[in-house]
Amino acid sequence: MTLSVAVSGASGYAGGEILRLLAAHPDVDIRTVTAHSNAGDKLIYHQPHLRSLAHLTLQPTTPDVLAGHDIVFLALPHGQSGQYTEALAETPLVIDAGADHRLTSSAAWDAFYGGDFHDPWTYGVPELIVGPGSGAAGAKQRERLVGASRIAAPGCNASTVALSLVPGVAAGVIDSSDIVSVLAVGPSGAGKSLKTNLLASEILGTANPYAVGGTHRHVPEIQQALAAAGAADPRISFTPVLVPMARGILATSTAPIVEGVTDAEIRAAWEQAYGDETFVQLLPEGHFPRTADVLGANTALLGLAIDRAANRVVVVAAVDNLVKGTAGAAVQSMNIALGLPEATGLTVNGVAP
């Protein structure tokens, strides 16, 4: 049976990427696309690469337009998805690509976002280890997604760092109270709205740190994922740096090694966590990923190093922020919730050069 789909925020980057993936999905029919200021325009005017969807016209983002579908994707800025929750109560599956339903703590929401707090939905990162004491081969978030009717797709930076470190936390080989993550990120993660700091003349030829000193909104989301894996009091110094590439995240995360843990035990934690995963892959020892390797793919590639001089584990992760970081995670989670093959409509292969 083909399932009807509506995608809100369809003229933006996240909405456009959701559409690109769904266009190749054999089990869905994209019937409705919506926008705010761009309502009334042909979708193709704003997403000219989506040639197979040229027949669609952007409709207003209203509850009436979104209702009546089997699946609704909300690709809206933070603070805007929650208003549709009650109106879509009869919709079998709703997936929010924004932040409104990610956090379990209202205090964290107030501190980093503000505005109305909305109930948390099932978190859409299937490969994350969950359950304190479960170990690196323990239960996965995937199990909680089976049959879910409300899914919160992740923040791209947050899921990248969480996937990098959760195996070490679950296995008890790293100290989660002293994590440092520095990320090189492309500007598409900030959305499609016109902002001076994202103009080509402002970012070409330079690297620009932002949200320095623990102020980035993905910090509590990372801490939440680490706590779910067993971290008692996860603390992270998180510094994103805007770099001149349209897509991609290269996250370098480090944490102290727990006393007495061997190099073999450290690497085994990541191997056990991801050895059977399709979309999260640990590279061979001595190899590290590039953002170019995951362009267009629903793949997170990880490289692991053990720095005994500093007594720290170093994990370098590369993802396409619009695919595995957002839209790919949403579609992957959709597949699991509906009982479809998890990889349907998704690819591990990037685009090169």
Q: Mean pLDDT over residues 89-111, rounded?
A: 96
pLDDT of residue 133: 60
The whole-angstrom separation of Cα 102 and Cα 91 is 19
Q: Do 229 and 170 touch, CB atoms closer than 8 A? A: yes
Spot the catalytic one: 22, 156, 243, 251. Answer: 156
Q: Using the predicted structure, report yes or no on whether residue 48 has a pLDDT greater than 90.
A: yes
Radius of gyration of the chain (CA): 19
CB burial of 24-37 (b: ≥16 within 10 Å; e: otherwise) equals: ebebbebebbbbee
Q: Mean pLDDT over residues 48-69, rounded?
A: 97
pLDDT of residue 135: 66
pLDDT of residue 223: 98
Domains of the chain: 3-154+324-338 (3.40.50.720), 157-321 (3.30.360.10)
The whole-angstrom separation of Cα 159 and Cα 276 is 19
pLDDT of residue 82: 85
Q: Mean pLDDT over residues 183-199, rounded?
A: 86
Please give the model's pTM, rounded to 2 decimal places.
Answer: 0.96
Q: Mean pLDDT over residues 154-163, rounded?
A: 97
Q: How confident is the model at residue 196 (pLDDT cuts 50, 70, 90)?
A: confident
272-326 residue pLDDT tens: 999 999 999 999 999 999 999 999 999 999 999 999 999 999 999 999 999 999 9
Any residues with CB less than 8 A from the CB of 145 and at least 6 apart, and which?
A: 122, 124, 126, 151, 333, 336, 337
Q: How confident is the model at residue 330 (pLDDT cuts 50, 70, 90)?
A: very high
Q: Is 156 a catalytic residue?
A: yes
pLDDT of residue 132: 63
Range with the poorest average pLDDT among 24-28, 86-90, 97-101: 86-90
What SS3 class is residue 273? helix
pLDDT of residue 109: 95
Phi, psi torsion values for 59, nearest 5 degrees: -100, 165
> Positive or negative, the Cα torsion across 214, 97, 109, 188?
positive
pLDDT of residue 134: 62
